[in-house]
Amino acid sequence: MSEAGSTQPAERRLSLLVTVLAFALPVVFVLVPLAIFLGYSFFSVDQGTIVYDLSLGNYVRFFTDPVFLPVFWNTIVLCVSVAIICILLAYPAAYFLTTLKGRWRYALLMLLLVPLLMSYVIKIYAIRSILGLNGFLNKALVALGILQEPSTLFVFNMNAILLTLTLLLIPFAILPIFLSLERIPQVLLRASDDLGASGSQTFLRITLPLSLPGVASAASFVFVLAIGDFLTPQMVGGISGFTFGRILYSQFGTAYNWPFGAALSVALAVVVIAAILVGERFGRNRGTSV
């Protein structure tokens, strides 16, 4: 009796501690930094030092300066394109994986995910040398007779960013699509077959709708990762591939204008949060209707 009485408060204290920690970690490491960030976006900079007076100047500048909105919009279009291309390429790949039996399925899936183990920067370097004028892609196209002479179409422009981001982010699209395809109960497909539906009818009316949650989360993953990236545009974007991430980066580096950089980040965060919400909502609706 007395024993049980003494362990119970200790246990309760422990569980209280765990609860506090569980709440404290995200608050301290996520919410507080975000709040500080938001706070900074209302400050300004004068002669290289931050002025701690609240103003909306940074946001006014973002919406009125002719530089930022066009770049912002172009970047969003670019990242939506990356997401679409990733989905178009990843869906068949994921679908193919689900048709494989047993061990092969996971062995191939692992192979597709291996690039994630490599350093991001090294991958960009490698892709850049492939895309270059003397690079593998040009050499191959010329050797095959598709091009007369090496082309500069593939590197140091928007195409290069599009290609590189697609290549880097495709594993993030394959995984969620694969998981949603794998979760589709085989009985549904067999029932469809029993009722006389053709292969394409089954795909269009059963498989595709049921896999859309995976597609939605894949698209939002890729979009969010692409729009937050500044290194890829910096390294392969050249002179015409100027993205919002590069502007943001410069505010924290050379410009030393943290408040304005914070305001630009808030604008970016709004878009990112919207993308995540859309992806999540779309995904959940379809998911629960099964």
Partner 1 sequence: MGLKKAFLRLATIGLGIGLMTSAALAANLRVLAWDGYADADWVKDFTAATGIGVDVVFIGSDDEIWAKIKGSEGQDFDVFAVNTAQLQRYIKADLVSPIDVTKLANQKEVLPRFRDLTAVSGVTKDGKVYGIPFCFDSIGLIYDTDKVKPAPTSMSVLWDPAYKGKVLAYDNGEHNFSFTALTLGYKDPFNLNEEQMAAVKAKLVELKRNVLSFYTTADEAQQIYQNNDVALIWANYGQQQVKALQKIGAHVAYVNPSEGALAWLDNWVISKGVRDNAAAEKWIDFMLSKKVGGELSERTGFGNTVTETGSAGGNDKLVWLNNVEDPLKRSDMWNEVKATP
**How far is 160 from 152, CA to CA, in rounded Å?**
10
Q: Which residues make Cβ contacts (< 8 Å) with residue 165, sequence separation at least 6? A: 78, 79, 82, 226, 229, 232
Minimum distance, C-beta of residue 80 to partner 1, in the bound complex (Å): 20
* Nearer to partner 1 among residue 134 and residue 200 (C-beta): 134
Q: CB 18: neighbour CB atoms within 10 A?
A: 10
Single-letter residue type at 240: S
What is the nearest approach in angstroms of partner 1 to the Cβ of residue 63? 15
CB of 238 to partner 1, least distance (A): 4
Task: Give the binding site for partner 1 (CB under 8 A).
Answer: 45, 48, 67, 70-71, 125, 128-129, 132-135, 152, 155-156, 234-235, 237-240, 242, 246-247, 250, 254-257
Question: In this structure, what are the phi and psi dihedrals at residue 50, rounded to the nearest 5 degrees?
Answer: -80, 130
C-beta closer to partner 1: residue 246 or 286: 246
Pick between residue 132 and residue 214 the one whose CB is nearest to partner 1: 132
Q: How far is the CB of 162 from partner 1 (least distance, A)?
A: 16
Name which of 238 and 287 has its Cβ closer to partner 1. 238
Residue 267 CB, nearest distance to partner 1 (Å)? 15
Give the three-class secondary structure for 50.
strand
Q: How far is the CB of 38 from partner 1 (least distance, A)?
A: 22
CB 168, CB 123: distance < 8 Å: yes
Judged by CB, which is closer to partner 1: 47, or 200? 47
Nearest CB to partner 1, comparing residues 198 and 240 = 240
Return contacts of 264-272, CB within 8 angstroms, 24+ apart.
264/58, 264/62, 264/68, 265/37, 265/41, 266/37, 266/38, 266/41, 267/62, 267/72, 268/227, 268/228, 268/244, 271/76, 271/227, 272/224, 272/227, 272/228
What's the gap between Cα 254 and its chain centre? 26
